[in-house]
Structure 1
Amino acid sequence: MAEIQLRNVGKRWGSFVGVHNFDLTIADREFLVLLGPSGCGKTTTMRMIAGLEDVTEGEILVDGKVVNDLEPKDRDVAMVFQSYALYPNMNVYENIRFPLKVRGIDPTTHDDKVRSASAMVELDDFLHRKPAELSGGQRQRVALARAIVREPNVFLMDEPLSNLDAKLRVSTRAQIKNLSHELAVTTIYVTHDQIEAMTLADRVVVMKQGVVQQVGSPTEIYDRPANTFVASFIGSPAMNLMDGEVSGGVFRAEHVEISVDAPDGPMTLGFRAEDASLAEGNGQITAPIYTLELLGDATMISVRVGGALVSVKADKAFRAEIGEPVSFSVPKEICHLFEAESGARIGELPH
């Protein structure tokens, strides 16, 4: 089992900072997700843990032992890549078995280990096939089985679902969730997909430009985003954010007047689409409908507020035309307030 500590870890290439002062302890058996847009430093952080990138500053410890100078093969981690990285000339059985051969594991145990790993990812009927004869989802499951068969201390997964179509992504995500529960191995998972982060993680690390923005459970990050970047990155749709001015306990922007507990001055106000509701007439936001989207279980109504699109979920039976005026109820207890300049969260939500 493995607890991983990153102590003020940084990575620089000349003057370019890829990861800045990353400081975190990942608990034994925890499923940690590194989340952020392309270029935010999440894959670089994972590659430093794996030993595929050198650390510029700081230390990486596994179970209290510094591993900065250990070769990747000596770190007891198994990595699952976005690109599957399978051997095209070997069948599925041999692809899964390969790590056992490389590590000199007793050959008499190979068959049991390979079949146990393949059963976990439902590949028993495909062991004789070559990678070229498999679908993308099947290839990704071979890559997972090849990682499982090693019985490592740590799983590292780098965007493993990003090459799959939407339906396969959902089923493979469920499989990874179930596997992590069964195997109970420390897992670090990199993604730019906030739905993967919300559904898989025990804790999420949100990153931007090499800097950690917030660390917390999916619920904490969803309910109390630390700043406007996190608020706009988590949630589907993302949190509505509006720039405006507070005066005399009222936040004002184009088409908007909302009572708030905040000092006077410029501010960004946010709320989730599912927390607001349609109002009969005098709501806190009144504007013409910009677009309507039927989602099946609900109707998403969007209006323009200044330069921002603001969305609210309505009943699936709601019908109206684009351009018709609509009014939303936005009570102050559902509102999040952020500093206009820094984007940092102001205080806590009232209860």
Structure 2
Amino acid sequence: MAQIRLKNVSKRWNNFIGVDNFNLDIADQEFLVLLGPSGCGKTTTMRMIAGLEDITEGEIWIGDRLVNKLEPKDRDISMVFQSYGLYPNMTVYENIRFPLKVRKVPAGQHHERVMAASKMVELDDFLQRRPAALSGGQRQRVALARAIVREPNAFLMDEPLSNLDAKLRVSTRAQIKNLHHTLKRTTIYVTHDQIEAMTLADRVVVMSKGLIQQVGTPMEIYDRPANTFVASFIGSPAMNLVHGEIHNGVFTGDHIRVDGLSTQVNGPVTLGFRAEDAVLADSNAHIEAPIYSVELLGEATMISMRVAGELVSIKVGKDYRAEIGDVVRVNIAPSACHLFDRSTGQRIATAG
């Protein structure tokens, strides 16, 4: 069992708070993603779980063991870092094998376990090469194989795809997803890339400034963001957020008027909606504004306009043709709208 539990975990350096009162239960075999911008505390949280960073307060449990005082080597976890950390003088085979030698695994088991790990990440043709002769994607696969060969209870992965180009990120992401399905090990994955979080995670922990903003499945976080920070961080493009006033269920702002919102709130609010939830309209539109830009994406066209001082994106059909400056009319279903408190940013209602 590799259930991991963090209870009231904090990390401080003098007056700077890196992680503040972090509480989370990670289920056995769960794929959990820590998501947030640089400096939000996600890597610090992972390093505390790994034992590479001392905690200031709280408890970390792996299975039924309190591991606060345990050395990293005694926690039965494997880490994959953004930097591959391969030994340049060793072949791929020896790099994968090295953790077994360090942990004094009987030599008779080495070859079988190295070959099994190599096969999982499709490295069999490269075992006699040295890291300098490998591409970035191949080096990352060596790092993955080196983590797999130990057969740990849990994997910790810190931005493992950041150094890869876009095409390699997609293929390696699929490989990590398949490995988790095959190995069935608890995995904690750190990233600032919300697409990685959405595609890989069973659950996502969105973090900002050392605090948990929301925990949920990718679709829970996408469909019902807890606050404007989560709404603006999840989605490609991010959720449109427009400031305005609401009275008797009618939201108004510059170039926008949306009625039929079911809420008792009156006064200044922030209205949110996704680009794909807006549709072009002929008349009586919720939004009427000149086009700011037009971007052909291939499968769709993205148009943007300034609404209530904010740049708003709308996804339309790939055959849509318009010029910058043309006035466009858009409707948004009230059920697709999100309302947030203007001062705190917290979710206050979902219309519909």
Structure-2 separation of matches of 1:334 and 1:301: 19
Structure-1 separation of matches of 2:110 and 2:349: 57
Tell me the residue number matched to 1:343: 345
1:274 alignment partner, SS class = helix
Structure-2 separation of matches of 1:326 and 1:129: 58
Tell me the residue number matched to 2:156: 156
1:348 positional shift: 3.9
Tell me the residue number matched to 1:323: 325
TM-aligned CA distance change 1:198 to 1:349, over 3 Å: farther
Tell me the residue number matched to 1:283: 285
Structure-2 separation of matches of 1:310 and 1:64: 49
1:221 alignment partner, SS class = helix
Structure-1 separation of matches of 2:70 and 2:248: 60
Of stretches 154-163 and 301-310 in structure 1, the one that deviates more from structure 2 is 301-310
Structure-2 separation of matches of 1:178 and 1:8: 33
Tell me the residue number matched to 1:32: 32
Structure-2 separation of matches of 1:348 and 1:340: 15
2:277 alignment partner, SS class = coil
1:349 positional shift: 4.7
The one-letter amino acid paired with 1:22 is: F
Tell me the residue number matched to 2:303: 301
Tell me the residue number matched to 1:177: 177
Structure-2 separation of matches of 1:248 and 1:235: 30
2:46 alignment partner, SS class = helix
Aligned residues: 350
TM-aligned CA distance change 1:296 to 1:110, over 3 Å: same
Normalised to the residue count of structure 2, the TM-score between the two structures is 0.98
Tell me the residue number matched to 1:134: 134
Structure-1 separation of matches of 2:101 and 2:133: 24
1:303 alignment partner, SS class = strand
Structure 1: segments with no counterpart, 5+ residues:
none
Counterpart pick for 1:273 among 272, 275, 295: 275
Mapping of residues 53-68 of structure 1, within 5 Å: 53-68=53-68
Tell me the residue number matched to 2:71: 71
The one-letter amino acid paired with 2:319 is: A
Mapping of residues 36-47 of structure 1, within 5 Å: 36-47=36-47
Tell me the residue number matched to 2:112: 112
Which whole-Å deviations, capped at 9, do the CAs of 1:274-302 have from their partners, x for residues lacking one? 11111113210000000011011111111
Percent identity for Structure 1 against Structure 2: 71
1:268 alignment partner, SS class = strand
Structure-2 separation of matches of 1:96 and 1:75: 20
Tell me the residue number matched to 2:217: 217
Normalised to the residue count of structure 1, the TM-score between the two structures is 0.99
Structure 2: segments with no counterpart, 5+ residues:
none
2:348 alignment partner, SS class = coil
1:209 positional shift: 0.3
Structure-2 separation of matches of 1:307 and 1:47: 41
Structure-2 separation of matches of 1:282 and 1:290: 21
1:79 positional shift: 0.2
1:111 positional shift: 0.5
1:330 positional shift: 1.0
The one-letter amino acid paired with 2:327 is: P
- Asked whether the equivalents of residues 262 and 351 of structure 2 are also in contact (C-alpha less than 8 Å), the reply is no
TM-aligned CA distance change 1:81 to 1:198, over 3 Å: same
Structure-2 separation of matches of 1:279 and 1:135: 50
Structure-2 separation of matches of 1:11 and 1:150: 29
Structure-1 separation of matches of 2:218 and 2:8: 24
Structure-2 separation of matches of 1:190 and 1:317: 38
Structure 1 runs (4+) deviating above 4 angstroms are none
1:320 positional shift: 0.6
Which whole-Å deviations, capped at 9, do the CAs of 1:45-75 have from their partners, x for residues lacking one? 0000000000100000011211000000000
1:333 positional shift: 1.0
1:248 positional shift: 3.0
The one-letter amino acid paired with 2:45 is: T
Structure-1 separation of matches of 2:13 and 2:47: 15
1:283 alignment partner, SS class = coil
Which whole-Å deviations, capped at 9, do the CAs of 1:82-131 have from their partners, x for residues lacking one? 00111111010000000000000010110010011000000000001111
RMSD: 0.8
1:21 alignment partner, SS class = strand
Structure-1 separation of matches of 2:314 and 2:14: 46
1:347 alignment partner, SS class = strand
